[in-house]
Amino acid sequence: MSVEGDWTTFLSERLDDIRRRGLFRDPPRLTGTQGRHVQRPEGRVLNFSSNDYLGLASHPAVVDAARLELDRGAAGAGSSRLVSGTFEAHERLEATVASLKGCEAAVSFSSGYAAATGCIPALCGPGDVVLLDKLSHACLVDAARLSGATIRVFPHNDLSVLENRLKWASQRHPRGRILIVAESVYSMDGDCCPLDGIIALKERHGAWLFLDEAHALGVIGPRGMGLAAACGLGDRVEIQMGTLGKAAGAHGATIAGSRHLRDLLVNSARSLIFSTAPPPHVAAAAAAGLEIIASPEGEHLRLKLRERIAEFARLIGETARHIPIFPVLLGCEKRTVACSAGLLADGLWVPAIRFPSVARGSARLRVTLTAVHEPADIVRLAEALRRLDGKLPEGNVVRLADNPSR
């Protein structure tokens, strides 16, 4: 067979395998902007797919902040900050994060993925131990692998196993460092980590904590500053990661902590050193997003978001909560895709989340609510889900009222 033939066969076999398992994706083409609605090829649909929890991705002040930079002619950063320097927009963004988080310093990265994969290997290496929650985001898993440290996974939010792992780590690697990695709000399940318990354990065992606040920033805590702030424990978390592409409505991420942490990352995080800095207009947009999050307008948007969450929880028979992520666990990949398509035909865009985003066999619809949804949107969604419930085969119903994943 020709080399060309080999190559094409290889690709089509891989793709066929992905299709067979119900895991093939061909992301729809969107026109217009992120918001209450999105314009898909099928037409305009209500958007329950986005992490733009406060609607800031199309907020005029965020757009204007980017435009101001662009109008000055600043489209690209030109190089890595270590080569070309730090723009005022990056500095402003980092000062904003540090001040809002009550930390000494912050450093920005081009994405959450880059922040994690830059930061964790800069802190840990062979001879150290990284303890990961079972449901950790892929970028945290990849970062831990990249570090070369010994990795131990603990069952989701299980403090007693975490304590056993900590004991094991300090005996097995008496000279090594131990880093616990957890998320404030788990992205595909919508539950929070037991932060006070984790902090008590890490202090008892001399470990450090990397807290990924991706889905908490903007959504919970005083001035929307996340779970560490909500618990009043910010000064006891060594490394606080926040992403700027979710509630902040822009793009990028920051790591906040001590001045030394910032300096160390600037000097050793490979994703910062060997990658072009985020464009200044993106940093400016993110800073504007954060300023709204922390403002009375942000407070008002969170209040609206909480009203939508409470109404939806009531309609589907769930207990009250503060997190706008609602997984509807279905298990089967193909059925989940069919349900998502059924909702789309009703004008509702609720994505089917499958492996590798979640474990095989734990596929789910993932509903995200935002502050820009109207009360009627929530009712429409709850009714459509209920209709879906009735149509599923016996024994495989969408268990809306007692979701097994929580």
User: Considering 101, 215, 251, 281, which one is annotated as catalytic?
Assistant: 215
Give the residue nearest to ligand PLP (CB): 112
User: Considering 183, 189, 333, 377, which one is annotated as catalytic?
Assistant: 183
212 assigned to active site: yes
Q: In what order do the strands lie in the sheet with 352-353?
A: 325-331, 363-368, 352-353
* Interacting residue ranges for ligand PLP, rule: CB under 6 A: 111-113, 137, 139, 183, 187, 212, 214-215, 243, 245, 253
Exposure class string for 262-273: b at 16+ Cβ within 10 A, else e: bebbbeebebbb
User: Considering 59, 90, 101, 137, which one is annotated as catalytic?
Assistant: 137
Of the pair 87, 113, the CB lying nearest ligand PLP is at 113
Q: For residue 258, with 0-12 CB atoms within 10 Å meaning exposed, 13-18 middle and 19 or more buried, which class applies?
A: middle
User: Considering 90, 101, 202, 246, which one is annotated as catalytic?
Assistant: 246
340 assigned to active site: no
The minimum distance between CB 169 and ligand PLP, in angstroms, equals 23
The minimum distance between CB 168 and ligand PLP, in angstroms, equals 26
Angle between helices 112-123 and 259-268 (to 10 degrees): 100
137 assigned to active site: yes
CA distance linking residue 171 with residue 174, whole number of Å: 5
Vertex 188 angle, CA 317 and 133, to 5°? 115
Of the pair 240, 243, the CB lying nearest ligand PLP is at 243
The minimum distance between CB 72 and ligand PLP, in angstroms, equals 25
Centre a 10 Å sphere on the Cβ of residue 307 and count the other Cβ atoms it contains. 15
Longest dimension (CA), the chain: 67
Vertex 134 angle, CA 318 and 336, to 5°? 50
Of the pair 187, 340, the CB lying nearest ligand PLP is at 187
187 assigned to active site: yes
The minimum distance between CB 185 and ligand PLP, in angstroms, equals 8
Of the pair 273, 310, the CB lying nearest ligand PLP is at 273
51 assigned to active site: yes
Give residue for tokens 């066929």.
Answer: 16
User: Considering 184, 187, 340, 403, which one is annotated as catalytic?
Assistant: 187
Of the pair 272, 382, the CB lying nearest ligand PLP is at 272
Q: For residue 162, with 0-12 CB atoms within 10 Å meaning exposed, 13-18 middle and 19 or more buried, which class applies?
A: buried
Looking at the annotation, which residues are catalytic?
Answer: 51, 137, 183, 187, 212, 215, 246
